[in-house]
Structure 1
Amino acid sequence: MSDLACQRRTSAALALLAGLLCLLLIVGVRPRDAEGRAQSGAADVAVPRFPLRADRHQLDRPTHDGAFFDVIGRRSALFGYEHRSIEAWIYPLKILDDFSLSFRLEGYPVEIQGSDIMASIRARPESTTLTYAHAAFRVEQIMFAPIDEQGVVVLLDVESVLPLTITASFRPRLRLMWPATSMTSSIGWDAGAHVYTLSEETGRYAGVIGCPYARDISVMPYQEEPRDVPNRFVIEVAPDLLRTRRIPIVIAGSVEGRAAARLAHDRIVRSVQTQYERTADHYEALERETIAVTTPDDRLNTAFEWAKVGLDKGVATNPLLGTGLLAGFRTSGESERPGFAWFFGRDALWTTLATNAEGDFATTRTALAFLRRFQRADGKIPHEISQSAPLVSWFDRYPYPWASADATPLYVIAHADYWRASGDREFLDQAWPSVVSAYRFSAATDTDGNGLIENTNVGHGWVEGGALYPPHEEMYLQGLWVAASHAVADLAAVMNDSSLASTAAAAAERARGAMERAYWQPDRGFYAFATALPRSSAAQAEAGPNRARRQDRLDALRDARLIDEDTVLPAVPLWFGTARDDRAQSEIDHLGAAAIATDWGQRLLSNSSALYDPLSYHYGSVWPLFTGWTAMGAYRYGRPHVGYQALMANALLTFPGALGYVTELLSGDFATPFGRSSHHQIWS
């Protein structure tokens, strides 16, 4: 070959090389991991150590083994227990559970379990942080649910004196909330994008779990009998990057397929700081735009602010149902429902009395409009709506949606309370036909014309089962009926329906008189629990303490027409001011005495009753809701000492358990929540 030809070929090769270099500069060269795989997008989505909000109501304490915590947005949530694992939900799907972290230091071959070194928890309205503390490193696990995104974020803030490898472990689930049928899910790993994708046979439901620094190390038993083994990924990040960055783990999901779930994941992972700021802004606005209290007791002030946050966390958007109020939260365990994270009618309606009082009118409108959408043609309000209800014949084939009698009069009461608080005539005009329909449904349940509305053939009142079930006419229900009749009388006057106003006012007075005659026990100084119809056989006592004594009492009640038990339920008519003053004072003596009042709240049933069982859901447990009823009733009738004792009992429950939130129920004998309790109960 001639020298000229060689020069031409060399020039051509150099030109080609220069062109390739230019192309690489244009499209970029991705760094590669230790195994030669591209770290796709890691640099693009690095999350700086942006400042977290300093909230004056921030709560900090050492972790308590088994204490519940949650991180909740409108569309998603994380639920877990301190020193245990976490589960993730993107409504109505459980994406994963058994999520945990472990750590390995360079040159130190022992794997350190995060549960062993979890040291403290910090709760802010917008986020929850768990801190892992070791002699060689400190890791903060900052968790938040973007306020209106189909995903949750876990940020790892790492400081270490040695190179540190973090291993995340989880079990993919992709399960719908009960009662919809769970699918057979599959999981795939995209090494280039650093994401797992969960999918199922229909292609409708999907989840994505991603971390831009993740490397999958799962061992899947492909050639073995199927086993439920966790997936695992490791995070290995250069120490110099950790000084200025946080490591994001994003969990997303969708009921519209894999592409939608992936879009949600990508949108969140590329806007983590923006999502955090937007969520924090929401809670700052909630504090700023709703009522605040300042008292000499900082514990009460802080509990009040956290109560507002706790209520707001109940607002949920389900892509199949819309936006309403959920009832409460806990982990789902081996079930497909995380506590009471469904749309419960009476829970939402009791809660609106609080949102009205604090000035959060948007939440009240949302809750009431949601229930109106599902009101039955005859006016009855649903008791509960599963988050998977549209996927099954929920309203036709299941007994739960119409199980209660109390949601319907509460619906009427809630609308009147909203009107008095807001003066929102436009909303009243929209809701009025629905309110009238609900009122007329309840009125029609007084089938014997005695002025008392009935549980029989309608639904349970407060007590849903067990020894005292079924009642015929609960005292609790009559308190609601008197208040609902007054409510309709007031609203009908606003709507210029004088006939309905006078009819409802007369019904209220008639029901008030009937209630006094039916339930008051003059020789004992309290209102009885309920009337009853004769039973074909005695109720059977549940297993538990003093079962024989309880069975003797049930045998004696077999033919009783009045269940003359001393309970907390008369606090409801006291709340609404519907009891005679002298009798109310005597009833408050009972509500404030040690047989019903504990240091941590009010028992449903007096512990002097032969039916009392401190471990029973209905016959001895303490509910913060009952305690709130007692506080309201006592203050209404000028008994501030009883009211304050109940108020503070509830306020102090904000701190020891689910930090910032109040549980559903506790033992009647010990200040300890039930294992089955929803540890963040909205109406509590």
Structure 2
Amino acid sequence: DKPGAIILLDVNTTTPLTIVPGFMPVMQPQWPAGIGGQYSYWDDDVKAYVISESQQRGLFLCGSPVAQQMAAPPAHMFADNPIQFKIDIKPREAKNNFIPIVIAGSPVNTKYDSVKVLYNNLLGNIETLYKKNCEYYENLRNSTVEVITPDEKLNLAFEYGKVALNNLMVNNSTLGNGLVAGYGLSGGGGRPGFAWFFGGDAFINSLAMNSYGDYSTVRSALEFTQKWQRQDDFPIRKKSRDEKNIDVGKMSHELSQSDGLIDWWNDYHYGYNHADTSPWYLAAMGDYFRKTGDVEFIKKSWKSIVQAYNWSKSKDSNGDGLMDLKGAGLGVLEFGALVKIFNDNYTQSLWTQGIKEVNLMAKYTGDKEIEKETEILFPKAQQALEKIFWIDDLGFYSFGAAEDGKQVRDKNIYSSASILFGLMNNGRSVSTIEKFNESDMVTDWGVRNLSNKSSMYEPTNYNYGTIWPFTSYFIGAAQFYAHFNLQGLETVRKTAQHAFDYGLGIVPEVFSGDINTKLGEAYHDQGFSVSGYVFPMIRGLIGLEVDALNNKITFSPKIPADWKFLKVHNVNVGGAIVNLDLANENGRMELLAKKISGRNIQIEFSPDLPLGTESNSMHVNGQLVKPEMIHHKQAEQLKIILDLEEESSVVLMYKPSVSVFLQDHSTPIGDTNEGLKIISQNLDGKKLTVHCEGKPNKDYELGIMNYELVKSISGAELKDGKLIVNIPGTGNDFLKHEIAVEVR
């Protein structure tokens, strides 16, 4: 909570040592603001360089109490080379002490003496500040959902992800406290990329943060975005009294942190250039409301919510119930052949979800008019989605359609947004996900935004062929929604692996579609890239949904057959804290639900089991019960509802079946797409067929559970408890393949 940074050097040396820290000062505010007249000098009183500009609107200090000045910098400009100081270290001193380097900054127009006080304050309280930081992140971990799985790397990625998302909160002394989109170097051009306040990114990330219960941060972020919602004469001023503003209620897309030094809203045209930000706001507000039951905040925000709803609704130019991009702004794409397409599946799905959320919130605010209107509008919009986007001969939902109804026939990952929210026909959703599981979309480090069979495909094109970890948010959650659980886990794992390649918990913005490497233009630390694995992990793989309005937890784990346990702790539902412990031995699954504090709640326990699994019995707290059995194309599911007062147990005894699972492996940076792709499975009587794709004459390994039940196999060899798959053929392209397993 201070504008400063402390670096502690832990030095181990047996001889005298000199360390020379150096840095290139960039005394510039964020683009598009700029200042001249920068200078630097050494202040020997604090053993630090002072960096400022002629009007001293901003300045910072960088130094160390044991530093010595080296060459003096130019008096009225910055040097072309790094500014350096030296630290002489004796072995005995190094053994018992850290060597501090301190950086102290300032809000705009802070006097030098105040920054000097801050510098000395940081220096004099290093241990206190260190402990305070540790306590902060320990509290973040202990007050939000904790997930423990057999996959230790995934557990760690999740914890690092929580830290990365929480670190997006920035308190700008001029603008307030909100979520920025990420962090990275501005480079020579000066534009920081995403260290700005982006409305859409805040809403996207809020759903991931809600998933693990960081509700206070989400509320602060949502409140911040409301400050910049378009009003009749604010923040963009009218050019004349008679000018008509048709964008009242539109949510801001982006805000430079230099607003205050410049007139961002009136002198630049970027603030409101996206259409999808406003329906995202509605979806985010509704999600927060369901997770928290915070009626007070929704009532306080109702005018803002209705304004965003009315603005979005006004962009329905043909009366089909869907907002379109005509006159509304950009959708998910920002350039190229499909930019500003009339019907954008992504934006229109968000709008349809927004209608549903507004209907829910209207019931609690008492707005009967909006409640009735949205009850009529929601099914109308849903029907329009089906009519506009389903491509019958191809068997998947289209990305978009022109005003005359002509559909985009290339596979595009953003179609999965409608499936994630459960808006589409179930059978068609399954068909779409099955098509998206193929190797033209799926790689070993994520999912392409566009099929590599498309004529528009270019592996380094920002919108037409690259891999954004962000899109795993949609396709990963959609895969789990449609019970493609093997594929959903692969999407989560392949995205989460990036959190260890570029800095712990840091996931870059965009990767090549052909090689596992981030692009040169990729923003280094992108928040919604982290959400790309956190969101589907919690809501899909773990299957955790909190409904504070109804005092209910839904726990629908979709874990692989080889996982023997799953622990989900610190689940907050309306102030009640609950721990969920799942044990899964072959033939026996047990859930132990324990209320740690708070009121009594209800739990819906609805785990997925492999195809062909049969339930023998289920006991809740020792009493025999009969669960609801649901057969899906890719999994079997059981469902039971129980009341939790203090502690409850559910014991399921089942007849196991043969099931396969993918072996986890990380993909090194620089690798190409080589891994086996599981497209789908189907069970016909005693025959389990696994549809997959792989490269010819390459040995792939598949895990298999209960292989002793195998009667015969074709398309693979059972060896040492594993399936070895070798696909015959020539060339280096992926080939379709089937593995057929006859079960005893």
TM-score, scaled to structure 2 = 0.67
1:369-518 equivalent positions in 2, closer than 5 A: 369-377=223-231, 378-518=248-388
Aligned residue identity for 1:299: K
Post-superposition, which runs of at least 4 consecutive aligned residues in structure 1 deviate over 6 A? none
User: Per-residue displacement from partner, 1:590-632 (whole Å, max 9, x unpaired)?
Assistant: 2211111111111111111111010100000111111121111
Q: Which amino acid is the alignment partner of residue 179 of structure 1?
A: P
Distance (whole Å) between structure 2 residues aligned to residue 221 and residue 382 of structure 1: 42
Shift of 1:200: 1.1
Partner amino acid for 2:140?
A: L
Distance 1:422 1:593 in 2: 38
Aligned amino acid, residue 201 of structure 2 = D
Number of aligned positions between the proteins: 511
Residues 478 and 222 from structure 1, CA distance in 2 versus in 1: closer, same or farther, beyond 3 angstroms? closer
**Displacement after TM superposition at 1:388 (Å):** 0.5
Alpha-carbon distance between aligned partners in 1 of 2:3 and 2:329, rounded to the nearest angstrom:
36
Q: Using the alignment, how far apart are the partners of 1:185 and 1:221 within structure 2? A: 10
Are 1:252 and 2:104 matched, yes or no? Answer: yes
Kept after mapping to 2: 8 A contact 1:205/1:258: no
Query: In 2, are the aligned partners of 1:330 and 1:677 still within 8 Å (CA)?
Result: no
Matched, 1:570 2:440: no
In the alignment, which residue of structure 2 is the partner of 1:209?
62
Structure 1 counterpart of 2:648:
none
> Quick one: percent identity of the two aligned structures?
35
* Pairs within 5 Å for 1:346-361: 346-361=200-215
**CA apart distance, 1:227:** 4.9
What's 2:463 paired with?
Answer: 618
State how far apart, in whole Å, the 2-side matches of 1:528 and 1:594 are. Answer: 18
Q: Which amino acid aligns with 1:487?
A: E
Query: How far is 1:430 from its partner?
Result: 1.3
AA paired with 1:578?
Answer: L
**Contact 1:350–1:410, Cα closer than 8 Å, also in 2:** yes
The verdict on how the C-alpha distance between 1:499 and 1:600 changes in structure 2, with shifts beyond 3 A counting, is same
211, 219, 224: which is aligned to 1:365?
219
> Is the contact made by 1:577 and 1:637 (CA closer than 8 Å) also made in structure 2?
no
Out of 154, 160, 166, which is 2:19 matched to?
A: 166
Q: Which residue of 2 aligns with 1:521?
A: 391
| SS of the residue 2:105 aligns to | strand
* Aligned-partner residue type, residue 99 of structure 2: I
1:218-367 matches, within 5 Å, as 218-220=71-73, 227-254=79-106, 255=108, 256-367=110-221
Deviations 1:537-592 (A, max 9, x none): xxxxxxxxxxxxxxxxxxxxxxx843332100111111100011111011101221
C-alpha deviation, 1:306, in angstroms? 1.1
Tell me, in whole angstroms, the C-alpha distance in 2 between the residues paired with 1:220 and 1:315. 35
1: distance between equivalents of 2:138 and 2:149? 21
Partners of 1:359 and 1:583 in 2: how far apart?
Answer: 32
Separation in 2, partners of 1:472, 1:611 = 19
Q: Distance in 1 between matches of 2:74 and 2:262?
A: 34
Is this contact kept in 2: 1:199–1:258, CA < 8 A?
Answer: no
Structure 1 residue aligned with 2:400: 530
2:597 counterpart residue number: none
Superposed displacement of residue 390, structure 1: 2.2
What is the DSSP-based 3-state SS (H/G/I as helix, E as strand, rest coil) of the residue aligned with 2:171? strand
Secondary structure of the corresponding residue to residue 649 of structure 1: helix
The worse-fitting range, judged by mean Cα deviation, of 231-240 and 409-418 is: 231-240
Shift of 1:433: 1.1
User: Residue 293 of structure 1: SS of its match in structure 2?
Assistant: strand
How far apart in 2 are the matches of 1:170 and 1:441?
A: 48
User: Structure 1 residues 350 and 382 mapped into 2: Cα distance closer, same or farther (>3 Å)?
Assistant: same
Q: Say if 2:410 and 2:454, in contact at 8 Å, map to a contact too.
A: yes
1:296 Cα deviation (Å)?
1.4
Q: Distance in 2 between matches of 1:240 and 1:504?
A: 73
Amino acid at match of 2:103: I
Task: Give the aligned residue type for 2:196.
Answer: W
Hey, what's the Cα distance between the residues in 2 that align with 1:300 and 1:275?
Answer: 30
Assess, with a 3 A threshold, how the Cα gap between structure 1 residues 227 and 195 changes in structure 2: closer, same or farther: closer
Letter in 2 for 1:367: A
3-state SS of the aligned residue for 1:175?
Answer: coil
Q: What's the CA shift string for 1:242-272, capped at 9, x where partnerless?
A: 2211111111111223223222211111101
Shift of 1:658: 2.5
Change (3 A) 1:245 1:227: closer
- CA–CA separation in structure 2 for the residues paired with 1:249 and 1:428: 45
The answer on whether the counterparts of 2:176 and 2:224 sit within 8 Å (CA) in structure 1 is yes
Which of the two has greater strand per residue?
2
Distance 1:654 1:640 in 2: 22
**Cα 1:317–1:279 shift into 2, 3 Å:** same
In structure 2, the residue corresponding to 1:176 is in which secondary structure? coil
Tell me which residue corresponds to 1:651. Answer: 496
Map of 1:196 onto structure 2:
49
375-384 vs 386-395, which moves further: 386-395
**Counterpart amino acid of 1:291?**
V
Q: Could you tell me which runs of 5 or more consecutive residues in structure 2 were left unpaired when the two chains were aligned.
A: 232-247, 530-744
Counterparts of 2:265 and 2:301, CA distance in 1: 22
| Residue identity opposite 2:517 in structure 1 | T
Distance 1:263 1:233 in 2: 21
* Bigger proportion of residues as helix: 1
1:222–1:450 Cα change, 3 Å: closer
The alignment status of 1:600 with 2:445, answered yes or no, reads: yes
- Deviation at residue 638 of structure 1 after TM alignment: 2.2
**d(CA) in 1 for partners of 2:256, 2:60:** 21
Residue identity in the other structure for 2:310: R
Kept in 2, the 8 Å contact 1:197–1:258? The answer is no
Q: CA deviation at 1:440?
A: 0.8
Residue-by-residue CA offset, 1:476-526 (whole Å, 9 max, x unaligned): 111101100000111101112222112112211111111111111100011
Give 1:173 deviation, angstroms: 2.2
Change in Cα spacing, 1:653 to 1:567, as seen in structure 2 (3 Å) is: same
Contact 2:33 2:262 survives alignment (8 Å) = yes
AA in 2 matched with 1:450: D
Residue 150 (1) aligns with residue 3 (2): yes
CA contact (8 A) 1:628 1:646 kept: no
Bigger drift between 331-340 and 599-608 goes to: 331-340
Instruction: Give the corresponding residue for 1:110.
Output: none
**For residue 549 of structure 2, what is the aligned residue in structure 1?**
none
CA 1:585–1:222 in 2, change beyond 3 Å: closer, same or farther?
A: closer
How far apart in 1 are the matches of 2:394 and 2:286? Answer: 35
Equivalents in 2 of 1:299, 1:502: separation in Å? 48
Q: SS in structure 1 opposite 2:464? A: coil
SS of alignment partner, residue 85 of structure 2: strand
- Alpha-carbon distance between aligned partners in 2 of 1:631 and 1:192, rounded to the nearest angstrom: 56
C-alpha distance in structure 1 between counterparts of 2:418 and 2:21, whole Å: 52
